[in-house]
Each structure stands twice: as structure tokens, then as C-alpha cells.
Structure 1
Amino acid sequence: MSDPLYKKPLLRLAADAAGAGRLPQPCVTGTAHNPACGDRVIVDIALEADRIIGIGLETKACVLTQASASILGSGAVGLNRDEIVSLRDAVRLMLSGGADPPHAPFECYAHFDGVAEHKNRHRCVLLPIEAVLAAFGET
């Protein structure tokens, strides 16, 4: 596939599916849906002292959303709500061409550089982050 939207690193991230699956006893659950394409993400989060200690993501979504969920699934443990908000803002700014990708452990968002010129696909990348924020009660 030579489409810049679906680079090999994104396909690998989606296939890795870090954090995939539901948690048996989450503290909170959030859902995000993109009505434009039908993508849906459900996230279960285990919390301790307002920090993520476990995350499970169920995606029925395109490769972009799946890859973003995998990045989030591998890096979200230890973060709190404010740090997830900062991540969302950093990814949004990166997609608009106004900033570099987020720092570790989220540097793999750099692989979404081909999405920048496709505004209708930005929501696909942000959807897993939105689901986490929904779990924290943010709408």
C-alpha cells in the first residue's frame, strides 16, 4: 500500500494492538464515536489516585484509529486526566501542522504526518484519546 495515510509503521501499530480488549473490572469506561465514518472506540480504565494503572481499548474502526489506540494503549499507564488533555492538544496541533509530534512515550504519533492534509481523518487519530477523556467525564 503506497497511500501516505497508511504507512507501514501505522499498519504495524494497528496490528500490534497494544492495550486491545476490555478490562474485567474497570473503574471507568468511555466511548467515542465518529459518525462521519462509523468508527467507535470503547475504553476501560483502571485508576489509582487518579492515574491510569490499566487500560483496555476495543475498536471497531479504521487503521488510523486502531494505530492511535495502540499508541495510547502502550503509553497511557501512569498518566492522569490533565496529561491526556495535553496529549490530545499536542496531537491536534501536530495534525494541523503547528507542532512536532508529542514526546515519548507518544513519539509514534509522528507516523501520522500523512494525515495532516486530510482534515476529515484527524478525528480518526484523535478518537481513542477522546474515548479516554470521556471515561474521565469530559465531553
Structure 2
Amino acid sequence: MSVRIDPRLLADAREIVIAPDAPRAVTERDFNLPVALHAGFFGLFIAYLGVMWIGFGNPDLAIPMAIFLFFTAAFYVVPALWATMAGPSETRAMPLDKLLGSGIDTLTGRTGGGAAVAQVLVLPVLIFLWGVAVAVIAALV
């Protein structure tokens, strides 16, 4: 349980001290992944929306598709802006060739570059292929 302590008692005991000035921590905002992976992720989701538009193209779907495109773009533009908000950073995003050559450290250990790319892109690829399958089934039925 917690008990409320009167601030005057703390002041009398001199237990309240001013926090020391600490240097501001450098925050990495690039997720330590190559820009090409971010672009591939974004591109696959846009391609999925394109497949849905081609497969179910109807003038009545223009407004919902515009909303989908707006939110999909926002989900990538906002983090890109966030990564550059703090000004120039001392760290740069890892180049793709470095990732493929040396891999990346994860919480579960060292992961090879190809495995890391597969882990990042497996969900967007599956969503895109699901969209293709749904569009083909709709076209055949």
C-alpha cells in the first residue's frame, strides 16, 4: 500500500533534492533498417491497393480508395518526418548492402541479412498475394 507523506515532513528530513542535469540521450529514429526496406514495405501496400482497385474497380469505390491511399501514405510519411524531426542525427540508416553482408542484431540473437529482409517483408508480400488471389477469384466467379 502507499501512504501519503506530507511534503513538509520530507522537506524537514531534507530528502527532497534537485535532480542533476543529465545530458540528453541521442535517440535513433531510423529503426536501423535500410531505406530500401521501408520503400519496399510501402510499395507493397500501395501495390495491394492497386490490385484491389483493378480487381474491383468501380466508380463508387473512388472515395474509399482515396481514403485508403491517404491513410496508407500517412502511415509512412509521418514516421519519415518523425525520423528527421530532431534535426541532423549522428547516425544514418544502415545501407542495404551492409545489412545483406553482415546481418543485424536482434533481441533473439544475430540474424543474417536475407533472414532480416524476409522477416520485414513477409507480411506485406502475403497481403499483396492475398489481394491478387481475391481479385483472381472474384474475376473467375
Instruction: Confirm or deny a common fold (TM above 0.5).
Output: no
Structure 1 or 2, whichever has the larger Rg, is 2
Q: What is the TM-score of this pair, normalised by structure 2?
A: 0.25
Which structure is higher in RCO with an 8 Å CA cutoff and minimum separation 6? 2
Q: Structure 1-normalised TM-score?
A: 0.25
Higher strand share: 1
Q: Which structure shows the bigger proportion of residues in helix conformation?
A: 2
